[in-house]
Each structure stands twice: as C-alpha cells, then as structure tokens.
C-alpha cells in the first residue's frame, strides 16, 4: 500500500505548489519502486514457524552454562544506545542487499540481554569516564574521572590519593591471565584509561594537558600511567601516538603536520621505553596495518600498536592499505592472548560510534557500529562459548532517533515518506534532539532535498543548536553469552557488570564460590575439546 503523503498545495503560491507536487510525486514513486516486504511474510505459517524455532532455542537456555570462565571479553560500543543498535542492524542488512529490519547483528544472537542504568554519581546523563569506572572498576564515579571513587573531585589532583579503585583488567592480570585493550580511539581516552589509570581528569592525556599545580602535586598523566601502573599489559592497540613522544617530535606517519607531533613536556619517549623493556620478552611495536598483519602471533607475547597520532579514522574513511580495522585488531589480539593456558581478559572499544553522533554524522556512527559487530563475530569464531564469557554493551546513549513512519526497507539514511504538515518540507528519518545539524535558511528549516542527505558526513537535522550533540540518559542494553551469562538479567546498575565477569572467572574480591567444601573447584571447568566436539556432533546429527 502507499504510505500517506501529506501535502497542502492550497496554502502555497503556484511556484511553490509545483515544487511541492514534484516532491510528493517522487516520494510516491519511490515507494512504488520497491516491494514493501517479502511475499512469504503474507503467510501466517512463515511467522508461526519462525516463532516455533525461536521457542525451541529458548527452551534450551534452561540448561544454564555454569562453567568457570577461562576467558573474558567486553565489547564496549561507546554511545551505542538502543536506537543505534536497531539502526545498525538495519544498515547491516541493507549493506547485504536486504530490507534490513529482519537482519541479525552478532550481538542479537547472544542468549541473555539486560539493561544497564548509566547515570554517574553526580550526573543524570553520564560521560564516558565515570561510566568506564563503573563497568571496569565496579564502582560508580563522578563524570570526568577515571579509576577513582566518587570521593575524588574532577580536576582536583589532591583528591586522587586514597580514592583509587582497581579494574577487572588488573584483577585478571593479578590472577595470571593475559590482558589486552583494543580501541578505535586513543588508547588513553576515557574508556580504556579506566582499565589502568587513576586520574581525576579524563583530559590529562599527557603532561602537556595538565595544569602546573597538578604536576607539582605529583599527579601523573594518563599516557604515563598506561605504561607504569600495570607495566605488562599484554596487548595495547589503538590511536594516541602523539601523547607518547617528546613535544614537537615529528610523527612517523605525518612528519610535516605540526598538530600530529609529540606533546610530552617531560621529554620522555614512552614507546622507546616500552620497546627497551620488552626487548627480551617477545614484545613488538607496530604503527601500521602491514606491520600488524605480518606478525606471527605465536612469536609475540607483548604487542603495542599505535596506528594514529590521535583517534583512529572513521571506518568509512579508513585507508585500508595502512590502517587496520577493528576486526583485524581484535583478531590479532585474541590470537596472542589465547596462548596463555590461564586465559585472558580483553577490552574492545568501538569508540568512534560516539564521535559520529557528537558530530551529528549518523552515517559515520552507524558504520562504526556495524564494524564493531563484525569484530564481535570474529571474536566468536576464535573462542568457545563453553569457556569464554562475552559481554557487549554501551557506556551511554545519545539523543539519536529514527522515525517518520518509514516503509519497510527504506534506506536508514533516507527520507520519511511524508512532508511536514507544518512547514511542508521533507525530513530524514534520522534526527537528533540537539547538535550541529540545526540549520535555519532564510528564517526557516533547511529543505533537506536540496542537500546530499545520504553523504558520509551529512549532519542530520537537530531540534536544538549545539556545536556538539549530547549523550542520552536512558538505559543501555547488555548482551551476554558464555559461562554465567544468565547473571545479566533484568535491570542493573552499570557497576554490576565487572562483578559478574569476575565471579564467572573466579578472580577479584569474591572467590569463595570457586571452592567446594572438599577444596575442589565449585564452578565446573569448561568442557574439554573432545567433549565440545562430541556435543557439537550430537547437535548436527
């Protein structure tokens, strides 16, 4: 059927009426040219059969996986609220030639889903630093602070000491596991820094960004803490190269661009120091895709990969010859970490989902989310659900939405099938509550049909003008699979997440459940390889 097209030509002069009729005709033609939905969906048997398959799968979840988690993986989509997940699902399907709505993301396949309350101790709508402290260190904290409790005050150096809190990455390292951090932002950005740093200001990337009084009081910048607090993090990959080198030192990739030069006032070369320390420990430093992908993971025990001076480039703009994708980084990371017989903990951040939204560039944000979903799929192929607890979540949402009664299969970046019944202009399905996309032309809302609204860097229209779009305050989804994944159910505080992961892996503060009265392990060790193969064979035959 045709979707309603609201037109009011009687309110316009002849010239405007002609233009309006053309737009209306184009919208109608667009809806006619594409089948609304697959023919099989007209038959109730299609939906009933699908539901029955889903029901049978759901019944198998009664046999809960209570194994001890050897490995822990946390995928963090920065800013990946539920509307972003849904839109990314549609985009993934459309990139594969489908309508999109019926597509499954890798995270959609996880058997357990819950909601996480994201507020900071001092903020209803949170930031990425306070939330990172919650889902990595297990305690809620103030916005703008990482690895410290809510007793610490942002930017006040003298409130750091005594208020430090440790992360699950450290708990795993202390338990003998290998640990890794992979991000598409700077490795000393808010999300990864809470895994290793204790800092009252998320913006203290190097000593160059710190006030003199904080340095005099003995506070350390985040880049320095990356290498000093937990000196043997097995895998570190992302951007942030310039914060590791002396001030004005030329960048190896962009030697003639001043903004990419080193920033450190203390003159230290943290990369060189790391290389020297790891020289006899099978450590490797890489800064481009070729170096990364030519490594033999069997011969590498420690890896430092810094692929950009700042954040890594958006996946849509990535130089595929020189810059690795998130999936490629995750692949190498897991192959190195999984060599440890005691298992590993890996933090993976799809960090530029957040940046795309802040810039009002929904296309960039959603392609970042689809790339993170590819990385989730790759991690699933390299690990086993019997022994690996994998969680996918977000730190917070954004004021991002899509709507407008779009028909089935409408491109996610397309127009709604109607005109506004107020200003008689078309509008895109994707809109923001606030941000840089707010535009007024001659005292009225911009006519989006006159611009390239499907462009990679198009800024979707926003209700309130801001230089940068803001976070959203609603709950975010938590997807979980693997040992004890069922402990993530219902609605939880965000700081609950690392406690579940630690409990499943028998690390951290409460390990009593890991020992029975006889002294043997209370949680079952994961199935042996043979048992896993036999189990799979039964399912297939």
Assigned token pair, 290: 């070729």
Q: What is the per-residue pLDDT for 314?
A: 98
Task: Write down the catalytic residue from 31, 114, 116, 128.
Answer: 128
Could you give the CA distance from residue 465 to residue 445 in angstroms, rounded to a whole number?
A: 12
The residues, ordered by sequence, that sit 6+ positions from 224 with a Cβ below 8 Å of its Cβ are 206, 207, 268, 270
Q: What is the pLDDT of residue 10?
A: 44
Q: Which residue has the tokens 């003008």?
A: 465
Residue given tokens 């060189």 in the structure block: 272
Does residue 210 contact residue 200 with C-beta atoms inside 8 Å?
no
CA–CA separation, 346 and 482 (whole Å): 15
How distant, in Å, are the alpha carbons of 39, 49, 408 from that of 44? Answer: 11, 9, 18
Residue 151 within any structural domain of the chain: yes
- pLDDT for 525 equals 72
Question: What is the domain count for the chain?
Answer: 1
Find, among 176, 171, 178, 188, the residue nearest to 226 by Cα. Answer: 188
Annotated binding site: 78, 189, 191, 349, 354, 358, 395-396, 471
Q: Report the 10 Å Cβ neighbour count for 12.
A: 15
* CA geometry: angle 317, 365, 463, nearest 5 deg: 125
CA distance linking residue 20 with residue 386, whole number of Å: 59
Q: Among 21, 197, 482, which Cα is nearest to 8's?
A: 21
Instruction: Indicate if the alpha-carbon torsion angle 418, 424, 426, 429 is positive or negative.
Output: negative
pLDDT of residue 38: 86
What pLDDT score does 35 carry? 52
**CATH code, domain carrying 335:** 3.40.720.10
Pairing of strands 476-481, 397-398: unpaired
Give the model's pLDDT for residue 16. Answer: 52
Does residue 264 fall inside a structural domain? Answer: yes
What is the per-residue pLDDT across 211-220, written as a single tens digit (0 to 9) for each? 999 999 999 9
Q: Is 128 a catalytic residue?
A: yes
- Could you give the CA distance from residue 337 to residue 73 in angstroms, rounded to a whole number? 11
In a domain, 408, yes or no: no
Query: What residues of the chain score a pLDDT lower than 70?
Result: 1-35, 516-522, 526-541
Instruction: Please name the residue that has the structure tokens 């819950």.
Output: 114
Binding residues for Mg(2+): 78, 189, 191
Q: Look at residue 492 and tell me if it is in a domain.
A: yes
What 3-state DSSP class applies to 388? strand
Task: Classify residue 522: in a domain, yes or no.
Answer: no
**Dmax (CA) of the chain:** 89
Is 271 a domain residue?
yes
297 within a domain of the structure (yes/no) = yes
| Residue 327 covered by a domain | yes
Range of the domain at 333: 64-399+476-505
């Amino acid at each position: 059927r045709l979707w309603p097209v609201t037109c009011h030509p009687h309110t316009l002069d002849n010239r405007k009426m002609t233009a309006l009729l053309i737009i209306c005709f184009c919208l109608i033609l667009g809806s006619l040219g594409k089948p609304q939905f697959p023919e099989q969906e007209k038959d109730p048997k299609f939906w009933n059969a699908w539901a029955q398959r889903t029901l049978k799968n759901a019944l198998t979840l009664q046999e809960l996986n209570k194994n001890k988690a050897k490995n822990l993986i946390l995928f963090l989509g920065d800013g990946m609220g539920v509307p972003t997940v849904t839109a990314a699902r549609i985009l993934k399907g459309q990139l594969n030639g489908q309508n999109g709505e019926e597509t499954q993301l890798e995270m959609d396949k996880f058997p357990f889903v819950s909601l996480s309350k994201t507020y900071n101790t001092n903020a209803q709508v949170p930031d990425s630093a306070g939330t990172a402290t919650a889902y990595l260190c297990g305690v809620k904290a103030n916005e703008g602070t990482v690895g410290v409790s809510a007793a610490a005050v942002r930017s006040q150096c003298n409130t750091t000491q005594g208020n430090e809190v440790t992360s699950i990455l450290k708990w795993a390292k202390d338990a003998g596991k290998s640990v890794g951090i992979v991000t598409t932002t700077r490795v000393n950005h808010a999300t990864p820094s809470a895994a290793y740093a204790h800092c009252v200001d998320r913006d203290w990337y190097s000593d160059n960004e710190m006030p003199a009084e904080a340095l005099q009081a003995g506070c350390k910048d985040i880049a320095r803490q990356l290498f000093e607090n937990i000196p043997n993090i097995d895998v570190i990959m992302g951007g942030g190269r310039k914060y590791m080198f002396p001030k004005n030192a030329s960048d190896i990739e962009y030697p003639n661009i001043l903004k990419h030069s080193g920033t450190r006032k203390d003159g230290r070369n943290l990369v060189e120091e790391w290389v020297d320390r790891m020289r006899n420990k099978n450590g490797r430093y890489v800064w481009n895709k070729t170096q990364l992908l030519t490594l033999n993971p069997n011969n590498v025990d420690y890896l430092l990969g810094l692929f950009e001076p700042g954040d890594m480039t958006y996946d849509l703009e990535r130089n595929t010859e020189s810059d690795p994708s998130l999936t490629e980084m995750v692949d190498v990371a897991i192959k190195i970490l999984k060599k440890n017989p005691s298992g590993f903990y890996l933090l993976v951040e799809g960090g530029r989902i957040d940046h795309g939204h802040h810039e009002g560039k929904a296309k960039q944000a959603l392609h970042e989310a689809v790339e993170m979903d590819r990385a989730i799929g790759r991690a699933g192929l390299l690990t086993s659900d019997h022994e690996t607890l994998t969680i996918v979540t977000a730190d917070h949402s954004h004021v991002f939405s899509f709507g407008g009664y779009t028909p089935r299969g409408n491109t996610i970046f397309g127009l709604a099938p109607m005109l506004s019944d107020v200003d008689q202009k078309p509008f895109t399905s994707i809109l923001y509550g606030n941000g840089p996309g707010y535009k007024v032309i001659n005292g009225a809302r911009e006519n989006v049909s006159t611009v390239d609204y499907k462009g990679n860097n198009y800024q979707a229209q926003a209700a309130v003008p801001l230089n940068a779009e803001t976070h959203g305050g609603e709950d975010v989804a938590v997807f979980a699979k693997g040992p004890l994944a069922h402990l993530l159910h219902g609605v939880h505080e965000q700081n609950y997440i690392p406690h579940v992961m630690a409990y499943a892996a028998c690390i951290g503060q409460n390990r009593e459940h890991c020992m029975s009265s006889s002294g043997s392990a209370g949680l079952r060790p994961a199935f042996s390889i043979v048992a896993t193969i036999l189990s799979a064979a039964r399912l297939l035959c």
